[in-house]
Structure formats: C-alpha cells, structure tokens
C-alpha cells in the first residue's frame, strides 16, 4: 500500500473557499453520537458538506475515499487501518485483528473522526458484516461518519433507539431559498433578483448539482429570467441538459481535455499529460477548479483531483458515444503511467478497461506473489475473470494461479479446466505416480531424501521456472483431490510437489506438507499427520506466512486433543496464539481460533470459568480476526459449556447456529455439528430426534469403520444405549425397527435387547480401531461408554474394567468432563471404583467436580433447587452489573439471562431483583464457590 494514489484515498478533500455555510446542519453534525450517516443520491453535496464541517473541527480525521476495488476485505481494512494510523499516530499492522484495532482506539487520549466516503460502492457481505461489528463495538474516542448513496447494512434501527445515530438525508441537504441565493450570488458570481433565485431553487428543488450546472449555463446569457422560466424536467433530464449546456460553452481544447481525462478515477497534472498527449495538465486542472467545473481537490497542495461523479459519468458517456475508438489508447496510456509510477493495481485496471488483455495478463503475473502474500485472492479472481478464456488457456502460470485462487476461496467449479490449461502448455504431470516413497506415508524426517514420484519429463529439468510451475500445479491438484474426497490422490500429488519444489520455494514446500498432514489426518494416522503439519509450520514460518502458521497450529492442537494429550494441545494452541500476536501485542489473523482451542482444553479439565474467558476473548477479537472455521468452532465450544451448565436449550440453539455458519476450510469434518447435537438429544431424553439423526445419516452398527465417521459411530453407540436404557416400553424407535426389519422384524422386547448387542459390538470394533490409530482421547471415551454399557447389563464388576483403563489413561492429562458429564450412572461407577482402590485420589477429584465442589451452598429452603448457572446469575444480580453486562460476563445472550432471571424469581418466590438478592442472602446462596 504505497504510491501516489494512497495519498488521495486517505486524504480529506480540500475545502474550497467561498462555499455556503450550512449552519442549520451544524448542530446535527456536531451531536455526540457514535455514527453520523449522510445518505443521499449523487449531486447533493455529501462530500462537500463533510469537508466544510471537518475543516472547522479540531479533531483529527481519518478519511477513506472508497472505490469498487475496496470490496476485497483485505484491501478495505488495510486502507482503514492506514487512515487511522495517520490520524492518530498509531502504528498498527494492516493485518491487525479487529478487536486489537478496537482496543487500540479505545486507549486513545484524543477523539478522532473516521470517515468512509462513497460507502455505497461496498457490496462485499464480509466487509459489511465486519463493519457492523465495528459499529456495535465502536470505542468511545471514535466517531464514524459514512457518506453513501444508499443506506448501509448496519443496525441503524437499534442505533436510532439508543440515540447513537445522527442522520442527514437528501431533504436535509437541499438548499433553502436563502442558501440558493447565497450560493448563486457569492459562489457562482451571478446577479439574480430574489424572485429569480427563488424560482431557480424551486425548479431544481434545492438540488445542488442542478443549481451549479444551471449557474454555469447562465454565465454570459442576457435573459436569465427567461432561461429560468423555460428550465424544467425530471432530475436525469436536468442533469443531462445542463451538462450539455456547460460543455458546449467550453473551448474545444477544454472539452477534449475533459473527455479524455474522464476515464481516470483521480487526476494529477503528469497523469493527464500522459493520457492526453499534451502538456500543462496541472495548470488546466487548477483552471477548471477556479471555474467551478465539478472538480474536487483531494489534497492540500492541489496536486490530485477527481471529477464529481455525476460530471464524470456524463463525460464518459459522451466520450464513448463520440470517440469510442479512442478509449483503448487512452486507457493504455493511463496503464503505462501507473505502472511506471508504482501503482500496479491501477495499471491493471486500465489495461483491462482498455481491452489490453495481453498487457493486463503480464501485469497480473507480476503482481500475483504480492497478492498471494496479502491474501487478496478476491481481487485476483476479479481480474482473471475479466480476461478472455483463450488468453488464460495460453498462460499456464495464470491458469494455475486461477485454480489456486478458486480453491482457496472454497470454489471447485472451473478448477479442473484451469489446471488442464496449465498442464497442456508446460508439460503434463501424470495423475498416477509411478512410485510412492515410504517416507510420504510415515512422515517427514532427515532421511526423507529420495524422489517421491516420477514426472513424465525424463531426467532433471534445467528450467527452474517450469519446475516451480509444475510444483504449484501439483499442490493445486492435491487440493482439488482433497476437495473431492480422494485422499490417495492427495498424497500422490503432494509427493509430486515435494519432488519438484525448489529450495527457494519454502512456502510451496509448506503448503505440500500441510496437505499431507490433512490427508493423513483424514486417514486417522494422527502421528504422521502431526509430523507433516509440524514440518509445514516450520516452512511457512520461514516464508513469513504467519496467518497460515496459525491454521497449522490449530490443526496441531486438534490432533493432540484426539490423541488424548491435553497438555500438548494446550501448548500447540498457545504457540499458535503467540504466532498470531504482533510484536506490539496486537492480535493477528488466527488469534481468535487459538482462544477457542484453549477453551476446549479448559472445559475438558472442568475449568469452565477459564473456558468462558477464552471464548469471551475470542469473541472480542471478532470473527474477522479468525480463520474461516472460527464462527462455527466458537459456537460449538460455547454449546459444550452451556451443556456443562445444564442449559440444554441454549446449547441446542448454539449448535443450530454453528451448523448454519459451518465451513470446512479444508479441515476434515471429523466432529460434525449434527452428531454433537444428537448427543445432547440422547442425554437429555429426546431419543426420537437422536434416532432420527442416525437414520438420516444412514448410520448402522455394522458399517465399515473410518476415522472420518468415528465420532458419529461413537455417537450412534451412545444413542443405542440411551434407547436401551429407556426400556422396551418406550413408544419411540418404531421407525427404526420398521426400516431395518419391516413388519416381520423382532418384537419390542427383542428389539430392545438387540440395541444393547449392536451398541457393544460397535464399541468393541471402534475401540480396536482407535487403539491401532493411537487416538487415546477417543479410546478414553469409548472405554467410558463401554463401562456404562456393562452397567446397563447389571454387571458392575465388568463395568469397572474398562473404567479402570479409562481412568489410567486420563489421569495424567487431567480429564474431568469426559467422566462427570455422564451423570448419575457414572458417579455410581466412580464411587464403586473408589471403594476398590482404583485411582482413588483421581476419582475423589472427579466426584468433587461432579458435586460442583464442596462449597456449593445447600438450598434446603427451596421447592426446586437452583441450577449451577442460575447460581452464577444470582450472584451477579447482587452486584451493580446491568442485564447486558451480566450477559457479557457469562458469555451468553441477553435473552438467556432474562430466562435465568425469570426462573430464579419463580424458584425464590419473588418479583424483583432486590427481593431476589435479599431472599438469596437469607438462604445463604450468595456464598462464592
């Protein structure tokens, strides 16, 4: 983000002397609200109004002039952060997480105004979503001002109710008769009678652009009254008519200059000279500004300008109508000037607009490394989609980059065609490798030096560029195979990439290693997967791809969790958090994900307060600071804490929400949200829904096992055991019996017994597979469920055998929730284990945790006891916190808090907060745990 245009995008447009002062709007602009919205069609003076207001405001101003290219979220936030850095003296990185930005702004000692001009060009849902988050959490020192032609997707209604919004709209911006008379006389230099000024204001309905055009048209006319009397028509007609009038009154040289420079979004003297082929462009711009010809100065030195949008639109339309053959040449000149002056994005834009597709392709190829490093794949895809298909097909590098950008943004359509184009021109990589090195299947290591695959081109390739291209194609082939579920092909293509990648292509080696980690993770070979992921972290860190390092750290932590190594998982997440923290302490992309991982570890160890704190920190960082999976992972983690608190409905709501926002981001979906929800249903007695889930997923106890479906099959065993525990008299399960056996199937009693047999048989097979894969976390869970199954059979002695094994595996890592969430049946088994001397100290700790600790006060005075979560809310009711503050403290919604409060009042027999606190004190319920 450097170059001459950066100054114009981030600079408050210069104030023109002599403009009409809009005193009647000053009070609204000066109101101390979080958001000032100036929303009106083109030509109503939005930018001019803000320029006038802020010129007299002592606060520093962070101004961003937006255009269509800012729909790339990376670009949008980079400009916004750069503007704030300039205005405040902060030194935040362009990739700073949104929460870190908010915290930095909150610490400012002086107030600042952040202006987003022309916000109507922003159509990106991601940008709009993140801006809504910023508005909802806007720091006190910051006032946000948005100038737009249409209302943004922000919580405007809520802000109106809270009196946090000041609005200025078209009717407010229309000139009054007095303002029109002042403008026409003092600014435009016309001598009009009060009646003529009032008539013209009435004809234009106070529309500033029309007034200016009309004034320009009247210069040199004798019969101004007659001109005004004949002046009529709708808005578009008025503008077209008046602009034609204005242009016809200019000299031929000025008209040519205006038309030829209308292709430019921003103008400066040397650029105009390059485009027009003339000299004196800077002087011409200053002359046009003095003549009030719809030119807006973009800096204090009068070096950069832009045409008013309405004026530019008409000029371009006229140029296209009268001189269409000149368009390619003009854009070509602009493109060359921008390239020579360090503005590759503008150079590419003009090359594309002028139909110079070969030149555009050359520039895009040169710019791809920077775009990839900045994660601007959306911008890259936009450009590539504008190139002709036959040109792309003849450009192997661009075809490969096109395929990669599609895959990175989660798209598969079109990938195969692009990869085939790339391979056709630079040699074909065989899809069936002739040789697979054993090291690819066992992980990286110092001895992994042999060629992993064979390439069709025999012998060493002397062309390093060709090898680099082929390695990229192989990586994209691996990603495509992964997206299509072909794990063996993924491994083959990753091997090809590692065989081809050069020593200098550290990032490519990291990408191939990461893909191998994904492949082995999916196969259930977690040890090998971990080794490849660790190698990927090393390479990506060396390449400076810190956001990718965060993704790898997330995978490392998740793998360690499944392996039952909670401490190692915690360390992996902490390392990832450190990698996602800048030198100044600000959070970078991926920090929020590490918080979710740490919350999972804390929850399993029954440190629910620490888990909530991590989730609160992750939420405050904002979803924009996380990896693509963050929205769904955060909600699942919150659901599990809500379930631990006994909030069944809240947990189910969070899981429904998680399923709605789920994205895979290439990670294997080894723990589907629907399976987590089925477990909540089964444990809360909603067996019909749990059985329906198994039926919809097509799960059976005799399925062939795979790691990807392991969690679902353990869940199926749990559902079958829950159905068995409910007894043969339960009315549910009929659909399952009918589906499997038809009308001639077993009766209810035999069906009931078959449930237990199928569940235990499935668990035995799952245990063997998990043990072979060294997935100790899964082994512990299966052993716990096996113990419960034996208990259901009435064989407590047999139940203690798998329980003892589970305790032995779990104790060193501090597992708690995996036992106590099983409820009363498990507590009975734990007590039996303690009496027989099985892991007595550990069992005592588990029993204490199940009781909530010995410090939970008794509730003997209540008809129905308060839940643990209701006690938490009750204690906070005794403080000065408001309802919303309590919701934030406990990381739940305000509606959830209101439900808890309603239940607390009912159980305590009170009708107010004060009465509830008094009653709780009488019962001794306010003692801290």
Order of strands across the sheet with 35-39?
A: 61-65, 112-117, 142-148, 35-39, 165-169
- Crossing angle, helix 840-850 and helix 824-835, to 10 degrees? 150
For the stretch 621-638, pLDDT in tens is 766 666 778 888 999 999
Q: Cβ-count burial of 63 within 10 angstroms (0-12 exposed, 13-18 middle, 19+ buried)?
A: buried
* CB of 356 closer than 8 Å to CB of 331: yes
Q: Is 50 exceeded by the pLDDT of residue 395? A: yes
Residue-level pLDDT at 133: 85
Q: Is 50 exceeded by the pLDDT of residue 188? A: yes
Residue-level pLDDT at 674: 96
* CB of 117 closer than 8 Å to CB of 149: no
Q: How far apart are CA 115 and CA 123, in angstroms?
A: 18
Q: How far apart are CA 838 and CA 334, in angstroms?
A: 80
For the stretch 737-795, pLDDT in tens is 445 544 445 566 777 788 899 999 999 999 999 999 999 999 999 999 999 999 999 89
Q: Which of 110, 183, 103 is nearest to 139 (CA)?
A: 103
Paired tokens of 846: 């588990």
Write the Ramachandran bin of 912: left for phi over 0, alpha for psi from -120 to 50, otherwise beta: beta
Q: Is 60 exceeded by the pLDDT of residue 428? A: no
Instruction: State the fold for domain 5-172.
Output: Rossmann fold (3.40.50)
Residue-level pLDDT at 489: 93
Q: How far apart are CA 168 and CA 64, in angstroms?
A: 19
DSSP collapsed to 3 states, 241-284 = HHHHHHHHCCCHHHHHHHHHHCCCCCEEHHHHHHHHCCCCHHHH
Residue-level pLDDT at 719: 94
* Percent of the chain clearing pLDDT 70 (strictly above): 85
pTM of the model: 0.68
Residue-level pLDDT at 584: 63
- Crossing angle, helix 608-621 and helix 98-106, to 10 degrees? 90
Residue-level pLDDT at 732: 55
Instruction: Name the residue ranges covered by the structural domains of the chain.
Output: 5-172, 177-248, 450-619+636-649, 658-852, 868-923
For the stretch 278-306, pLDDT in tens is 999 999 998 888 776 778 788 777 788 88
Instruction: State the fold for domain 658-852.
Output: 1.25.40
CATH class of 450-619+636-649: mainly alpha
* More confident site: 19 or 803: 803
DSSP collapsed to 3 states, 149-191 = CCCCCCCHHHHHHCCCEEEEEHHHHCCCHHHHHHHHHHHCCCC
409-410-411-412 Cα dihedral, nearest 10 degrees: 130
Paired tokens of 22: 């809009």
Domains 450-619+636-649 and 658-852 share a fold: yes
Q: How far apart are CA 856 and CA 616, in angstroms?
A: 25
DSSP per-residue string spanning 79-91: HHHHHHHHHH---
* CB of 342 closer than 8 Å to CB of 3: yes
Average pLDDT along the chain:
83
Residue-level pLDDT at 276: 94
- The DSSP output letter for 117 is E
Instruction: State the fold for domain 868-923.
Output: Arc Repressor Mutant, subunit A (1.10.10)
* CB of 472 closer than 8 Å to CB of 508: yes
């Amino acid at each position: 983000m450097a170059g001459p245009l950066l100054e114009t995008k981030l600079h408050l447009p210069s104030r023109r002397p002599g403009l009409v002062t809009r005193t009647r709007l000053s009070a609204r602009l000066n109101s101390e609200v979080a958001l000032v919205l100036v929303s009106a069609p083109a030509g109503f003076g939005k930018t001019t109004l803000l320029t006038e207001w802020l010129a007299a405001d002592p606060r520093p101003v962070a101004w961003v002039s937006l255009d269509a290219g800012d729909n790339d979220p990376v670009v949008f936030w980079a400009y916004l952060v750069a503007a704030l850095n300039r205005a405040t003296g902060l030194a935040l990185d362009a990739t700073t997480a949104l929460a870190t930005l908010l915290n930095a702004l909150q610490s400012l000692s002086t107030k600042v105004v952040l202006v987003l001009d022309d916000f109507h060009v922003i159509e990106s849902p991601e940008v709009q979503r993140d801006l809504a988050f910023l508005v909802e959490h806007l720091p006190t020192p910051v006032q946000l001002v948005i100038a737009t032609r249409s209302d943004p997707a922000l919580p405007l209604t809520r802000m109106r109710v809270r009196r946090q919004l000041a609005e200025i709209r078209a009717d407010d911006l229309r000139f009054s008769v007095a303002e029109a008379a002042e403008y026409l006389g003092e600014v435009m230099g016309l001598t009009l009678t009060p009646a003529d000024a009032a008539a013209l204001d009435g004809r234009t309905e106070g529309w500033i652009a029309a007034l200016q055009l009309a004034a320009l048209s009247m210069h040199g006319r004798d019969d101004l009254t007659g001109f005004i009397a004949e002046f009529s028509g709708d808005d578009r007609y008025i503008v077209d008519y008046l602009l034609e009038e204005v242009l016809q009154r200019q000299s031929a040289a000025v008209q040519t200059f205006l038309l030829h420079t209308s292709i430019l979004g921003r103008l400066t003297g040397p650029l105009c000279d390059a485009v027009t082929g003339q000299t004196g462009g800077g002087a011409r711009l200053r002359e046009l500004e003095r003549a009030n010809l719809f030119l807006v100065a973009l800096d204090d030195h009068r070096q950069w300008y832009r045409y008013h949008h309405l004026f530019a639109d008409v000029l371009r339309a006229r140029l296209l109508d009268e001189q269409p053959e000149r368009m390619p040449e003009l854009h070509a000149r602009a493109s060359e000037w921008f390239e020579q002056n360090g503005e590759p994005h503008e150079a590419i834009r003009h090359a594309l607009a002028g139909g110079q597709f070969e030149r555009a392709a050359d520039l895009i190829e040169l710019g791809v490394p920077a775009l990839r490093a900045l994660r601007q794949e959306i911008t890259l895809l936009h450009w590539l989609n504008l190139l002709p298909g036959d040109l792309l097909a003849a450009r192997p590098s661009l075809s490969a980059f096109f395929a990669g950008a599609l895959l990175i943004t989660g798209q598969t359509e079109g990938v195969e065609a692009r990869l085939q184009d790339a391979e056709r021109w630079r040699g074909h990589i065989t899809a069936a490798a002739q040789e697979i090195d054993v090291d690819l299947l066992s992980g990286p290591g110092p001895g992994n030096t042999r060629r992993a695959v064979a390439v069709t081109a025999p012998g060493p390739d002397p062309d390093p560029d060709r090898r680099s291209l082929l390695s990229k194609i192989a990586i994209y082939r691996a990603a495509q195979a992964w997206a299509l579920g072909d794990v063996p092909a993924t491994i083959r293509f990753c091997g090809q990439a590692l065989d081809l990648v050069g020593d200098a292509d550290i990032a490519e080696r990291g990408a191939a290693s990461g893909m191998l980690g994904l492949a082995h993770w999916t196969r259930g070979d977690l040890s090998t997967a971990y080794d490849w992921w660790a190698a990927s972290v090393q390479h990506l860190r060396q390449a400076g791809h810190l956001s990718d390092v965060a993704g790898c750290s997330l995978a490392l932590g998740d793998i360690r969790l499944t392996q039952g190594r909670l401490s190692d998982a915690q360390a992996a997440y902490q390392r990832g958090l450190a990698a996602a923290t800048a030198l100044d302490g600000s959070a970078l992309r991926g920090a929020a994900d590490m918080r979710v991982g740490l919350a999972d570890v804390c929850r399993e160890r029954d440190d629910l307060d620490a888990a909530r704190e991590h989730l609160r920190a992750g939420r405050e960082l904002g979803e924009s600071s996380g990896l693509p999976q963050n929205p769904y992972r955060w909600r699942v983690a919150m659901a599990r804490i809500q379930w631990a608190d006994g909030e069944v409905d809240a947990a189910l709501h969070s899981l429904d929400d998680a399923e709605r926002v789920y994205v895979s981001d290439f990670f294997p979906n080894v723990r589907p949200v629907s399976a987590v929800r089925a477990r909540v249903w089964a444990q809360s007695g909603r067996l019909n829904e749990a059985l329906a889930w198994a039926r919809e997923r097509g799960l059976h106890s005799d399925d062939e096992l795979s790691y990807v479906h392991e969690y679902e099959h353990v869940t199926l065993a749990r559902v079958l055991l829950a159905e068995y525990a409910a007894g043969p008299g339960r009315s549910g399960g009929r659909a399952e019996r009918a589906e499997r056996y038809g009308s001639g199937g077993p009766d209810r009693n035999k069906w009931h017994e078959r449930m237990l047999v199928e569940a235990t048989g499935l668990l035995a097979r799952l245990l063997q597979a998990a043990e072979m894969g060294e997935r100790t976390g899964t082994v512990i869970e299966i052993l716990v469920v096996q113990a419960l199954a034996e208990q259901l059979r009435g064989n407590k002695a047999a139940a203690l055998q798998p329980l003892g094994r589970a305790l032995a595996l779990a104790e060193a890592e501090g597992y708690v929730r995996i036992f106590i969430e099983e409820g009363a049946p498990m507590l009975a088994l734990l007590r039996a284990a303690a009496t027989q001397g099985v892991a007595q100290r550990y069992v005592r700790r588990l029993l204490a945790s199940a009781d909530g600790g010995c410090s939970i006060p008794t509730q003997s005075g209540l008809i129905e006891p308060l839940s643990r979560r209701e006690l938490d809310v009750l204690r906070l009711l005794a403080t000065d916190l408001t309802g919303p503050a309590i919701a934030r403290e406990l990381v739940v919604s305000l509606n959830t808090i209101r439900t808890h409060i309603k239940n607390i009042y009912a159980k305590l027999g009170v009708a107010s907060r004060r009465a509830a606190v008094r009653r709780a004190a009488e019962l001794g319920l306010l003692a801290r745990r």
